[in-house]
Chain A
Amino acid sequence: MLEQLLASTAAIFDPKIFLPMTGGIAAGLIGGAIPGVTITMTIVLVLPFTFGMDPLQGLATMIGVYVGGESGGLVSASLLGIPGTPSAIATTFDGFPMARKGEPGRAVWLGIWASFIGGLLAGIPLVIGALQLAALAVQFGPWEYFSLFVLTLTIVASLSEQSLLKGLISGVFGLLVTVIGSDPIMGAARFDFGTEFLRTGFPFLPVLIGVFAFSQLMKDIEQLRPAGSDRLLGGKVSLKVSHLRVIGEILRQPVNLIRSTLIGLWIGILPAVGGSAANILAYDQAKKASRTPEKFGTGIPDGIIASESSNNANIGGSLITMMAFGIPGDAVTAVMLGALIIHGIQPGPLFVMTHTKVAYGMFAAYFIAHFVTVAIEWIGLKLFLRVILVPQRTLIPIILVLCTIGAYALNNIMENVWTFYFFGIIGYLMVKFEFPLAPLIIGVVLGDQLETNLIRALMTDDHLALFLTRPISGALLGLSVLSVALTLWQRRRRPPAPAAADVDF
């Protein structure tokens, strides 16, 4: 294992891979740092650049965006008080007060080094976990796969912040999207209403780009900040700091660091729950475990370390789920899955076994991307500070154009642009009516596989009881029921949520 990893590490340094990966990291840092531009959006924007690349080049570039993006979010969180990405929300709580107290360099670099260390720590379970879980998953039959996908959907619906019912509807709606067009077993046309457009079904990536990027941009438009309103703490900012001192501060909190890394890793492994949940949970746990919880929110390093180490560790967890099971750990890995399919690679447990070079290359890219991210931030942090102040009024049309290119260039057909547009409207309506988006995407990603495995299982043996009597399948279905029951129980104990402030329907 180690030999292959070292060989892949050397391969990543090939300029053919290293340069696009570095470009991806820079794009991630900028995209992550710009408030309103999420990492998902950035990876969608980078996607068309990877169409002409070989699989490892493309995936290394995307991993670069992912790692850079998680680190970029902390810059605006600390210096503007606005999280660049949802995964840096908790960084704002202590990063911004610390910067305002006259220590912007310490705030930013505590975050950068905590991201770096948390990310590297999560790399070890990534390599071991992905390989071991893939080896286990290879032994699954169609019953186990079906039950695993059902569990995935129920977990995603249960973990959504909105109501469980809306989460379940969103997930089943995602499954419905995949039944439009030809069926995956016999190729028979379904629900095409006699149109050529619907006969081929909705391709997954334009759906994802529409649901996440388009709807996010519309939300940004709702909250457009006045031009020139973003100010970096009154203009000039000095980010000079003693790096040894900052690293020492982080290493003096090993329990906080490891706990937050494990939280990030675990949240990442859970399907479709990203760094946005990880950083809040890690921050909350750090506060609860602290002897001085009252100091949280005043600009102490503990909060920054918890938030930033967890969100980079979350990448490792998301990649484990994606590489071992072919299930996206979050929206970013959902785009990566799409990229794998574009390159003719079937995601799933066999991916690690049959495309060993690509899989190990991804591990190596993950590790190297963390080092390159710190190097780029060391050199170009000041430059990024200028870029994040580009007005949203200018950015939004540019991002929409790049999304259009990403959708169109998949197959060079306008139908993909219309799919992107249509699902942009659906995504925005879902946001307004408080339906979570993650279950929809998981439904779209897993729909065909869910159907294929159900039909395969029933064609092999039509006894439905097998789904319950096969030990792993039964356990997975039991966990599905448990996750729904637990959510219902927890929400019943919670006081009813106040009505949302901006409900206008």
Chain B
Amino acid sequence: MYRDAGVGIVLTLLGGLLLWQSGKIPTPPFVPIGPAFYPRIILGVFVLLTLALVASGLVRGPSVRTWNFADWLRRYRVIILTFVVFGLYALSLPWLGFPLSTFLFTVVVQWVLGRWGWQSLPGVLAVGAGTAYGTYLVFEVYLKLLLPRGTLF
């Protein structure tokens, strides 16, 4: 798989898209240097560098000969799950509020990371409750920082 060349192509496309979008930035009249001036320079440099990455990636050759999706998924399953669970946590914060969302999040992530089984359940729940309500007490009650409120709870 031509990894660097592939990444270079994706980044070049991103730079190209933004360069095209930079044409839509309104430039006020009578202003010698408009707001699109600097982004275009940066985007120009970015596209040149990413094209160089494509070229060097092609010259270097493939990084791995074979790629197996099942192996890849097995290796990154926990990482992907953690990202997904965090995304759900962020989504739930405005609905469930900080303490409940955080409790559920810490319990689920511990489970995802391998703390399962009846024996570890009390510890998992205690860490969840301690994190959720401990941080709530310290930050919201003691330090007077505002934490996300829930519309449901």
Contacts and interface: CB of A to CB of B under 8 A. Distances in A.
Q: Which of B11, B36, B102, B145 neighbours the largest number of chain A CB atoms within 10 Å of its CB?
A: B145
A168 interface: yes
A455 B37 contact: yes
Given A176-B42, A405-B139, A459-B32, A221 B78 contact: yes
A394 B31 CA distance: 56
B97 to A, nearest CB: 12
A412 interface: yes
A74 to B, nearest CB: 27
Chain A contact residues, majority secondary structure = helix
Q: Which of A191, A397, A428 neighbours the largest number of chain B CB atoms within 10 Å of its CB?
A: A397
A455 B114 CA distance: 53
A391 B120 CA distance: 13
Contact of B109 (A168, A222, A396, A412): A396
B147 A176 contact: no
Nearest to A166: B53
Contact of A409 (B1, B35, B146): B146
A235 B37 CA distance: 63
Contact of B28 (A176, A188, A428): A188
B113 A393 contact: yes
Contact of B145 (A391, A409, A428): A409
B79 A165 contact: no
Contacts of A402: 135
Contacts of A409: 139, 145-147
Contact of A414 (B1, B90, B115, B144): B90
Contact of B106 (A166, A392, A397, A421): A397
Interface residues of B, number: 67
B70 interface: no
Interface in B119-153: 123, 127, 131-132, 135, 139, 143-148
Contact of A503 (B3, B28, B86): B3
A197 interface: no
Given A394-B127, A503-B64, A168 B49 contact: yes
B67 interface: yes
B87 interface: yes
Contacts of B33: 455, 458-459
Interface string A335-347: 0000000000000
Given A402-B135, A455-B33, A221 B79 contact: yes
B63 A505 contact: yes
Contact of A504 (B37, B64, B82): B64
A433 B3 contact: yes
13 contacts: A165-B56, A173-B46, A191-B25, A218-B83, A394-B115, A396-B109, A404-B89, A409-B139, A414-B94, A451-B38, A462-B32, A505-B6, A505-B63
Interface of B: 1, 3-4, 6-7, 11, 15, 18, 21-22, 25-26, 28, 31-39, 42-43, 45-46, 49-50, 52-53, 56, 63-64, 67, 71-72, 75, 78-79, 82-83, 86-87, 89-90, 93-94, 102, 105-106, 109-110, 113-115, 123, 127, 131-132, 135, 139, 143-148
The 6 closest A-B pairs by CB, nearest first: A397-B109, A188-B35, A183-B35, A179-B39, A397-B106, A393-B113
